[in-house]
Amino acid sequence: MSSELPDLATGPAGAAPTLSEVAKRAGVSSITVSRVVRMPDLVAPETRARVEQAMRDLGYVPNLVAGALASARTNSVGVLVPTIANSIFADTVQGLSDKLEPLGFSVILAQSRYDAAREDRMLAALLSRRPEAIIMVGSPATEEGSRLLRNARIPIVETWDLPANPIDAVAGFDNYQAGVAVAKHLAAQGRKQLAFIGGDDPRGTRRWLGYRDEALASGLAEPRRLILDRKDSGSVAAHARLPGVDAVFAANDAHAIGFMSGLRKAGVLREGPASAQPVAVIGLGDLEMGQLISPTLSTISVHGDAIGRTAATLTLERGGERRIDLGFELVLRDSG
Amino acid sequence: MSSELPDLATGPAGAAPTLSEVAKRAGVSSITVSRVVRMPDLVAPETRARVEQAMRDLGYVPNLVAGALASARTNSVGVLVPTIANSIFADTVQGLSDKLEPLGFSVILAQSRYDAAREDRMLAALLSRRPEAIIMVGSPATEEGSRLLRNARIPIVETWDLPANPIDAVAGFDNYQAGVAVAKHLAAQGRKQLAFIGGDDPRGTRRWLGYRDEALASGLAEPRRLILDRKDSGSVAAHARLPGVDAVFAANDAHAIGFMSGLRKAGVLREGPASAQPVAVIGLGDLEMGQLISPTLSTISVHGDAIGRTAATLTLERGGERRIDLGFELVLRDSG
DNA sequence: TCGCCTTATGTTAGCGCTAACATGGAACAA
DNA sequence: TTGTTCCATGTTAGCGCTAACATAAGGCGA
């Protein structure tokens, strides 16, 4: 109802007021209004006050679209993630926003849903808005995406991995070594038959490769690999599909917790420490939830928000180190 | 290293190519190129092929900033949420993105961090990019924010609540009634001393009010209310601060799970059904995690993604019902 | 054959703003 | 006095694109 009758007390009736309307009302030229908005120190206090009054009277909201075109600066950053829901990438988006928003940058968010074609479309859509940088999880899935980014001539930050040939900058950790660390730990714990559950996206696959290679190097049998789709439900039923397995590395904590839920139903979950567990479980991500469940979840801790903040920093400074390894940490709790 | 030496094979050396450069190369006028991009059916097949070739040769990426200024359409939507990390609002953002991205809209994301001043700043920043609609969680915290939105003359969708005097459109549920439903259930279960834990944001407070009113109406003692900050850690310790309480409604599932973790440490968590629990726990949000833990979490189920999709629909169609109550559901599992 | 419609393409002006370069006056040292 | 410098403000042109209105060339019925 009130949507049809906007507040006329302060706002104007028709289209949004422009710089020059403010200028006319304040009796100055448009450039002076522009300066009041962007570099108020260059304007005499009385003039400034007059302009500010006019802006208030008219309810002026600067048009950054026009400003961006004129100045060739959009003050925006494109962010591409596989998904934001139920996911650890949300921390990364939060981290980079917290760094960029106070500097006047807006975040243009796009989701690829782990789909290469959609990723390319989103990349093209982002670039057509002329962001001053692109931050993405992982690397472009296609040659076309890679080419688009290379030609864009803006800072590009790939995150959550350490690609061998990055387009520009990198903020991540070594997924292969994460897999190695988990396998090494499980072998040292005396586990004999390892398994890996999770997706087959590039980062998950790298974790798997490190895990498998290290298991083999430790003299264990080749681990089993169960590829699950994105619904956690699969992980709950995973135990039945992994007979004889006494240790599981899940590609992320959500899968790990789902798997543990399956173990619980099957009666093979103990309240005691890792050594008491018939099946060890290690996750990745270090969700807060992992510390709240019982047994508490052992995990590879990764700082998603630090990745985001670091990526933001890399978009702002063009010089300096362009490859930041934020590392990971094997956090041992009761599950394995 | 390679960041300094971009791929010149396909891309041009200098600035990004413009429409008119493509036009020159294809031997047509700029408007024809513009048509090939936006309304290809209006261009003869041979001309179109020539233009498309020229675009490929030059690596042309349309400049939507200029297009938006000329056409007064930005094809973008501003989205304001308190926070995206570890939160149920991520589902809403996902839902609305899934609906809007295929239609060519970009999502400009901003976070208020439950801070009124920051919310106003973000609102102003969003509006200066001339989005074609604003979708936000809740309602503006200040009169200033409200005024800004009213004057913007674009669809505004408030979500996750059903405000009495919305600015324009609404997609949410009745938080007060959610509190009522929980209190009613707990009273029927024979619980005597209720408590509420969670934040004091507007929506959390409305849940509290419904919960309290219903408890009193059922003849129970006034429930206790424990206001926690945004860190879940507080909820783990909450039990010690609520002596004598036999039922807890947590403002969200994260708090509920944290609280249950505290109960577990205190030895007052049973494996059996709700009736066996010394302290009943009900959450809100229906995180997937709630079904994976033990005992499984009873909760008010809310469809965050449906809220997002509905909000997206409301931004696209200006007519029709502007107030959509998506409801909620009390899902009873083992925790209470 | 002529006018009229259709289809394909072009011309012109301008979206709202800012970069870059004036301009004009006050302050000030020599 | 006469530059020289600084400060406050203005003028001009144009960012890259699209809306709106031409224009030109065929097709076609009468």
With CA atoms as reference, report the closest residue to B239 among B230, B253, B228: B228
User: Does the domain spanning B75-173+305-327 belong to CATH 3.40.50.2300?
Assistant: yes
With CA atoms as reference, report the closest residue to A278 among A302, A243, A308: A243
B241 touches chain A (CB under 8 A): no
Q: Which pair of structure tokens corresponds to residue B174?
A: 């009745």
Q: Are A87 and B86 in contact (CB under 8 A)?
A: no
With CA atoms as reference, report the closest residue to A88 among A322, A294, A251: A251
With CA atoms as reference, report the closest residue to B336 among B187, B177, B236: B187
In chain A, what residues touch B61 (CB-CB under 8 Å)? 124, 127-128, 148, 151-152
Question: Looking at chain B, which residues constitute the CATH 3.40.50.2300 domain(s)?
Answer: 75-173+305-327, 175-301
Write down the pLDDT at residue B12: 45
Q: In angstroms, what separates the C-alpha of A20 from chain B's closest C-alpha?
A: 16
Q: Are A137 and A116 in contact (CB under 8 A)?
A: no
Averaged pLDDT in 10-residue chunks for chain B of 336 residues: 35 76 95 96 94 96 98 97 91 96 97 96 98 98 96 97 96 98 96 94 96 97 91 72 90 92 87 85 94 93 97 91 96 93
In chain A, what residues touch B157 (CB-CB under 8 Å)? none
Q: DSSP secondary-structure letter at B331?
A: E
CATH topology of domain A2-62: 434 Repressor (Amino-terminal Domain) (1.10.260)
Q: Which long-range contacts link A68-74 to residues 24+ away (Cβ below 8 Å)?
A: A68/A130, A68/B65, A69/B65, A69/B66, A69/B69, A73/A132, A74/A129, A74/A130, A74/A131, A74/A132, A74/B65
More confident residue, A111 or B242: A111
Nearest CA in chain A to B75: A129
A329 burial (CB, 10 Å; 0-12 / 13-18 / 19+) is: middle
Question: Looking at chain B, which residues constitute the CATH 1.10.260.40 domain(s)?
Answer: 2-62
Give the 3-state secondary structure of residue B232. coil
Q: How far is CA A217 from CA A89, A220, A221, A294, in A?
A: 32, 7, 10, 32
Q: In angstroms, what separates the C-alpha of B63 from chain A's closest C-alpha?
A: 5
The enclosing H or E element of B108 equals: strand B106-111
Cis status, amide bond into B295, omega within 30 of 0: yes
Q: In angstroms, what separates the C-alpha of A292 from chain B's closest C-alpha?
A: 5
Of A257-261, A262-266, B13-17, B32-36, minimum mean pLDDT range? B13-17
Which of B6, B98, B305 is opposite residue A151, by nearest beta carbon? B6
Q: Which pair of structure tokens corresponds to residue A233?
A: 């439900």
**Amino acid present at B253:** D
The enclosing H or E element of A58 equals: helix A45-58
A18 touches strand C (CB under 7 A): yes
Answer yes or no: is pLDDT of A275 > 90.
Answer: no
Distance between the alpha carbon (CA) of B127 and the C1' atom of C24, Å: 38
The phi-psi region of residue A230 (left if phi > 0; otherwise alpha if psi is between -120 and 50; otherwise beta) is alpha
Residue A171's DSSP bridge partners are A159, A324
Which of B151, B167, B260 is opposite residue A11, by nearest beta carbon? B151
Q: Given the DSSP bridges, would you call strands B106-111 and A247-250 parallel, antiparallel or unpaired?
A: unpaired
The terminus-to-terminus CA distance of chain A in angstroms comes to 59
The enclosing H or E element of B146 equals: helix B143-152
B157 touches strand C (CB under 7 A): no
With CA atoms as reference, report the closest residue to B67 among B41, B109, B34: B34
B87 touches chain A (CB under 8 A): yes
Write down the pLDDT at residue A10: 41
More confident residue, A239 or A141: A141
Superfamily grouping for domain A74-173+305-327: Response regulator (3.40.50.2300)
Q: Which pair of structure tokens corresponds to residue A237?
A: 């039923």
On strand C, nucleotides with any atom < 7 Å from a protein CB are 7-12, 14-20
| Rounded percentage of chain A residues whose pLDDT exceeds 70 | 95
Strand arrangement of the beta sheet that strand B280-284 belongs to: B224-227, B194-198, B247-250, B280-284, B298-301, B329-331
Write down the pLDDT at residue A231: 64
On strand D, nucleotides with any atom < 7 Å from a protein CB are 7-12, 14-20
The whole-angstrom separation of Cα A220 and Cα A203 is: 23
Write down the pLDDT at residue A269: 82
Q: Average pLDDT of chain A? A: 92
DSSP A87-125: STHHHHHHHHHHHHGGGTPEEEEEE-TT-HHHHHHHHHH
Write down the pLDDT at residue B231: 65
Q: Are B138 and B170 in contact (CB under 8 A)?
A: no
Chain A residues 173-232 with a CB less than 8 Å from chain B? 232
Helix, strand, coil share of chain B (percent; to 5): 45, 15, 40
In chain A, what residues touch B147 (CB-CB under 8 Å)? 7, 10-11, 59
Superfamily grouping for domain A175-301: Response regulator (3.40.50.2300)
Residues 286-325 of B with CB under 7 A from strand D: none
With CA atoms as reference, report the closest residue to A171 among A317, A333, A332: A317
Counts for chain B of helices (H) and strands (E), in that order: 12, 12
Write down the pLDDT at residue A276: 81
Count of CB atoms situated within 10 Å of the CB of A114: 17
Distance between the alpha carbon (CA) of B97 and the C1' atom of C21, Å: 45
Q: How far is CA A235 from CA A108, A191, A334, B149, in A?
A: 33, 20, 19, 45
List the single best residue of A139, A150, A265, A314 to mutate versus B (max B Cβ within 10 A). Answer: A150
pLDDT digit string (tens) for A280-328?
Answer: 999 999 998 899 888 999 999 999 999 999 999 999 988 889 999 999 9
Judged by CB atoms closer than 8 Å, whether chains meet at A110 and B109 is answered as no
With CA atoms as reference, report the closest residue to B279 among B293, B300, B295: B295
Write down the pLDDT at residue B129: 98
A16 touches chain B (CB under 8 A): yes
Q: Are A113 and A229 in contact (CB under 8 A)?
A: no
With CA atoms as reference, report the closest residue to B117 among B108, B109, B125, B128: B125
A69 touches strand C (CB under 7 A): yes
The phi-psi region of residue A107 (left if phi > 0; otherwise alpha if psi is between -120 and 50; otherwise beta) is beta
Q: In angstroms, what separates the C-alpha of B216 from chain A's closest C-alpha?
A: 32
- Cβ-Cβ contacts under 8 Å for B26 (sequence gap 6 or more): B32, B33, B47, B50, B51, B53, B54
Write down the pLDDT at residue A94: 96
Question: Looking at chain A, which residues constitute the CATH 3.40.50.2300 domain(s)?
Answer: 74-173+305-327, 175-301
Q: Which pair of structure tokens corresponds to residue A290?
A: 């992992």
Answer yes or no: is pLDDT of A6 > 70.
Answer: no
Count of CB atoms situated within 10 Å of the CB of B59: 18
Write down the pLDDT at residue A232: 53
With CA atoms as reference, report the closest residue to B283 among B253, B261, B258: B253
pLDDT digit string (tens) for A127-151?
Answer: 999 999 999 999 999 999 999 999 9
With CA atoms as reference, report the closest residue to B126 among A112, A109, A85: A109
